[in-house]
Homo-oligomer: A and B are copies of this chain.
Amino acid sequence: MRAAVLGTGLIGGSVLLRLHAAGLDVTGWDPDDATRRQARLAGVPTAERLADAVAGRDVVFLGGPLPTLPATLVKVAAATAPDCLLTDVGSTKAELAAFAAARGLTHRFVPGHPMAGTDRAGLGAARPELFAGAAWVLCPAPDGLVAFRRLAALVTEVIGARVVPMAADRHDAVAALSSHVPHLLAGALAGAAQRSPLRDAVLTLAAGSFRDGTRVAGTPAPRTANMLRGNRDQVLAALAEVTAYLDELAHALRAGDGDTLTARYAEAGAARVALAGRPYQRTVRPFPVDGEAADEVAWLTGLGASGGHLSGCQVTGEAVFYTARLPQAG
């Protein structure tokens, strides 16, 4: 399998480093001269032009800033063979999925989102093991299952991530609560501290709660702004849910109502308990290779919605075998 990665910052760069370390024939490309030079100095194959990077490739990962992805997709689709698998690593999915569908690319473009990162940016922060064990959303479409299966195998087996199959709009609603609103809260906390006349003392007394709660406010500001704008409506809806809970807490505090405060914190704490360790059950689910696509998509997206993920995908003769981890009830 010959691969290319376009946009080799933190995320794309980590994909590039991983595929290269795994021994795949992979080439990177980035619009930034210095990034290309840096990749070459690190011994990673890098093309000077996008067209050279993608020529003759079997799979292309599209990285780079979110607003640039539609144009890159069109360009790469035109420069590659009709069966070349395309995917992206952008942080929102519905817009790009709709864009690809409108251009008839659903059979070979699989929207993707690796859920890992750091508060640093650029190829210098990239690491080949960034995605080991991390969740990696892939959006299966009924007419794109062949592409989905190939990519799921690559992402689980070569990159070592957990593939979470999810419909594009469901992904965006989930990501709003699991990633985008946390960025808003972190920005608000850090911003209010920065503006406060007590700033210097606040930073001196900053214990774990402040450090943890503001960490992602240190990520590059344009990247955060793009991420939020790319998922605006879902982010605002999720923010309303969070501020409703915040209002309940503030209301109980204002009233001096310790019982309600304690009850709300016990409810919130249950999410932390579930996050720390949910038991999974391993299962292998076969589907006929040429079976009813809607059934396979429904099973896959149901798996993601229930909190499960794929740890493998093998096509053997007439059947595809998904190895899945399903969270046990409780």
Residues of A within 8 A of B (CB): 115-119, 134-135, 137, 164, 166, 170-171, 173-175, 177-179, 181-196, 198-219, 221-222, 224-226, 228-229, 232, 235-236, 238-239, 241-246, 248-250, 253-254, 256, 258, 261-276, 278, 304-309, 327
Contact = CB atoms under 8 A, between A and B. Distances in A.
Contacts of A199: 271, 274
9 contacts: A115-B206, A171-B205, A178-B201, A179-B205, A192-B238, A200-B327, A221-B261, A221-B262, A221-B263
Given A174-B205, A191-B268, A262-B222, A213 B186 contact: yes
A215 B208 contact: yes
> Which residue, of A205, A219, A242, A263, has the highest number of chain B Cβ atoms within 10 A?
A205
Contacts of A212: 182, 212-213, 215-216
A213 B185 contact: yes
Given A186-B213, A208-B215, A193 B271 contact: yes
Contact of A134 (B119, B187, B207, B276): B207
Contacts of A201: 164, 166, 170, 174, 178, 304-307
A204 to B, nearest CB: 5
A66 to B, nearest CB: 11
Given A117-B207, A229-B253, 13 more contacts: A115-B206, A181-B189, A187-B268, A188-B249, A190-B272, A193-B271, A200-B307, A204-B309, A221-B265, A221-B266, A221-B269, A235-B253, A236-B254
A256 B232 contact: yes
Given A134-B207, A182-B209, A268-B191, A256 B275 contact: no
Copies of this subunit: 2
B179 A242 contact: no
A269 B229 contact: no
B235 A268 contact: no
Contacts of A232: 253-254, 256
B228 A253 contact: yes
Contacts of A308: 204
Contact of A272 (B205, B217, B263): B217
A210 B178 contact: yes
A229 B258 CA distance: 7
Contacts of A116: 207-208
A200 B267 contact: no
A147 to B, nearest CB: 22
A310 to B, nearest CB: 12
Which 3 residue pairs across A and B have the least CB separation, nearest first?
A200-B307, A218-B272, A221-B265
Contacts of A218: 269, 272-273, 276
A314 to B, nearest CB: 22
A228 to B, nearest CB: 5
A170 B117 CA distance: 37
Given A210-B178, A275-B206, A244 B192 contact: yes
